[in-house]
Chain A
Amino acid sequence: DIQMTQSPSSLSASVGDRVTITCRASQGISNYLAWFQQKPGKAPKSLIYAASSLQSGVPSKFSGSGSGTDFTLTISSLQPEDFVTYYCQQYKSYPSTFGQGTRLEIK
């Protein structure tokens, strides 16, 4: 199975900041990488697919990059509602696997 490792596991930032979350795959996955946002008690929400394509309706403050094994999610101009948990997912091959999550906290 392909292992997905997110870093950091938690991150403190302030409203208005720009942050970057990293996701590393244990083997190359081309650009078959997605990012999700999850608020407490809610279902995950799709943000980005194919490493850098924005899901319809998602604001442009979210951006993704990378290919192969190293990927990043960048969130600019943080607002209070952005301080939740983010997951990456590889869907290059069976079984699809997720990172362990990054919790974004208000400083």
Chain B
Amino acid sequence: EVQLVESGGGLVQPGGSLRLSCAASGFTFSSYTMNWVRQAPGKGLEWVSYISSSSSTIYYADSVKGRFTISRDNAKNSLYLQMNSLRDEDTAVYYCARGFSCSGGGCYHDYWGQGTLVTVSS
């Protein structure tokens, strides 16, 4: 059974940093592109970042470019999102999602984690 479990969320002040993790199991992690998708309270879904299976290709949404860094450790079956210079508008539930049938930097997300809440507030 495919499982994705996020951790690392919490309350942080504007300008602060946070590192999210996603532990994967039930599939060959090193074979799949992975993504982060977020959802602000009461709002819709927003894709955040993409990393290919070998980490050779990485994409970011314009809203987080230069502040967030995606990475992965295939030996540990883990995905990460380092978030720096956090802003109020980064407050959201962050989901890791497996990429399937990826094309030109976009992926169908076939499996999602349960999400971890990041709150940016003073």
Contact = CB atoms under 8 A, between A and B. Distances in A.
A95 B47 contact: yes
**Interface SS of B by simple majority:** strand
Contacts of B95: 43-44
Given A95-B47, A97-B47, A100-B44, A46 B104 contact: no
**Interface SS of A by simple majority:** loop
Interface string A47-71: 0011000010000000000000000
Contact of B44 (A55, A87, A92): A87
A49 B105 contact: no
Interface string B32-56: 0001000000001111001000000
A34 to B, nearest CB: 5
Given A44-B45, A44-B95, A87-B44, A95 B106 contact: yes
B113 to A, nearest CB: 6
A49 B97 CA distance: 14
A43 B92 CA distance: 13
Interface residues of B, number: 26
Chain A interface size range: 20 to 34
A34 B44 contact: no
Interface of A: 32, 34, 36, 42-46, 49-50, 55, 87, 89-101
Interface of B: 35, 44-47, 50, 59, 61-62, 95, 100-115
Given A91-B103, A94-B105, 20 more contacts: A32-B106, A32-B108, A34-B109, A42-B114, A43-B114, A44-B45, A44-B95, A44-B109, A44-B112, A46-B108, A89-B108, A91-B106, A91-B108, A93-B104, A94-B106, A95-B62, A96-B35, A96-B47, A98-B45, A99-B44
